[in-house]
Amino acid sequence: GENVEQHPSTLSVQEGDSAVIKCTYSDSASNYFPWYKQELGKGPQLIIDIRSNVGEKKDQRIAVTLNKTAKHFSLHITETQPEDSAVYFCAARRGGKLIFGQGTELSVKP
Q: Give every strand in the sheet of 19-25, ordered side by side.
A: 4-7, 19-25, 72-77, 62-67, 56-59
Q: At its nearest, how many Å lie between other proteins and the CB of residue 33?
A: 12
CB of 97 to other proteins, least distance (A): 6
73/93 with CB nearer other proteins: 93
Please give the Cα distance from 52 to 11 (Å, whole number).
27
Binding site for other proteins (CB under 8 A): 4, 6, 32, 34, 36, 41-46, 49, 89, 91, 93, 96-103
Q: Kindly tell me which of 14 and 42 has the beta carbon lying closer to other proteins.
A: 42
CB closer to other proteins out of 41 and 110? 41
Give the CA distances from residue 36 to residues 23, 69, 110, in Å, rounded to whole numbers and listed in that order: 13, 23, 23
In the complex, least distance from residue 98 CB atom to other proteins, rounded to whole angstroms? 7
Tell me phi and psi for residue 11, to 5 degrees: -145, 125
